[in-house]
Chains A and B, each alone.
Chain A
Amino acid sequence: MTGTDYAAGTDSTADTHSTARAVPVLPSRLNRALLAVVRIGVGLLWLQNVGWKTPPNFGRGDPPDGLYLSASYAVSDPVLPPFAWLMERFVLPNFTFFGWMVLLVEAALGAFLVIGLATRFWALIGIAQTVVIALSVLNAPHEWYWSYLLMLLVHVALFATAAGRYGGLDGLLRPEWELSRSWAARWLVRVS
């Protein structure tokens, strides 16, 4: 069947199919609950894994470990030469600053995805952070590249489904934000 069949709307079969296609999946209580489970699970992934980012050195030492070791794989086992160059020239020499950035971003990802606040915004940040991690460690020994691809895809799913609206604070607070004219509320409507 072509798109024209739907657009014409003269065929009763086409009408039926068109209606069936328009029925969203999420009104099912089970589906909403499952989507909340996925969102909270992804939030817990970040929440638990920010725990091994340990300031003030973030693993910089002899021998290196933790976050510094992971980041250094971008240079020793490069995935993308320009990214490896960036890591070698700017990130590793200033690792305290970048270590703190990673800690704050991942802690916020855990915090906001678990409670489902501004979920679509944090899903985008999660996509960006996953790309950075993948570009750092994808060629490191014993890595399974699908784990990073799966991380990326699950954040895409959280974004596409606006997962915070199901069992999250986005769903609860959106009606209030939609009534408000403040810039913060308008922003929250867009990112929830």
Chain B
Amino acid sequence: MNWYRRLDRAAIVLGLVSIMSAAFVFVHGTFQLVQIGTVGLVVALVLGLLAIAAGWLAERTLLIAAGVGFLLAATVQLVLLAGGGSGFLGGNASTFSLWLGLGAGLIAIGLVPRPEAIEETSQA
């Protein structure tokens, strides 16, 4: 498999992880790995789908956008936690951790230069 396709596939996996995390809306107690509220569910689904689309279309800009989106959501969740509650996102520090990982991962993948970007740079 082409190395760039492997990068895109990794982005798709990260998007799928986000979508699967939405299931924790229904899981409580011992096996609740992350706390996902109603707005958090929307964040997980929308950004997860964006990451999958970015990987599917091999769109580096979309990849970075999804990564930045996750990092923003993680930051907002952290600020809400500092206020003493889950806030409108309905998550906890585990949610912050998950979104931090997804954001960092997508940005790390998105920062890898692609052949078309390299060609554009050399032409300029």
Contacts and interface: CB of A to CB of B under 8 A. Distances in A.
Interface of A: 43-44, 46-48, 50-51, 53-56, 103, 106-108, 110-112, 114-115, 117, 169, 172-173, 175-176
> For chain B, which range describes its interface: under 10, 10 to 19, 20 to 34, or 35 or more residues?
20 to 34
Contact of B97 (A46, A117, A175): A46
Interface string B27-63: 0000011110000000000000000000000000000
B98 A110 contact: yes
Contacts of B98: 47, 110-111, 114
Contacts of B81: 54-55
Contacts of A111: 97-98, 100-101, 104
B105 interface: yes
A53 B105 contact: no
A107 B83 CA distance: 18
A107 B104 CA distance: 13
Given A43-B101, A55-B82, A169-B108, 13 more contacts: A47-B97, A47-B98, A50-B96, A51-B35, A51-B93, A55-B93, A56-B83, A103-B93, A107-B93, A108-B100, A111-B98, A114-B101, A117-B108
B33 A48 contact: yes
B26 interface: no
Interface string B1-37: 0010011001000100000000000000000111100
Given A55-B81, A111-B100, A172-B7, A50 B14 contact: no
A47 B102 CA distance: 12
B92 A51 contact: yes
B115 to A, nearest CB: 13
Contact of A169 (B10, B33, B96, B97): B10
Looking at chain B's contact residues, the main secondary structure is helix
A175 B8 CA distance: 16
25 contacts: A43-B101, A47-B33, A47-B34, A47-B97, A47-B98, A47-B101, A48-B34, A51-B34, A53-B93, A54-B81, A54-B93, A55-B84, A106-B93, A108-B97, A111-B100, A111-B101, A114-B98, A115-B14, A115-B102, A117-B105, A169-B109, A172-B10, A172-B109, A173-B108, A176-B112
Contacts, number: 78
B48 to A, nearest CB: 14
A106 B81 CA distance: 15
B5 to A, nearest CB: 11
A115 B101 contact: yes
Contacts of B92: 51, 54
Given A47-B33, A56-B84, A175-B3, A110 B105 contact: no
B73 to A, nearest CB: 13
Given A107-B93, A111-B101, A115-B101, A172 B6 contact: yes
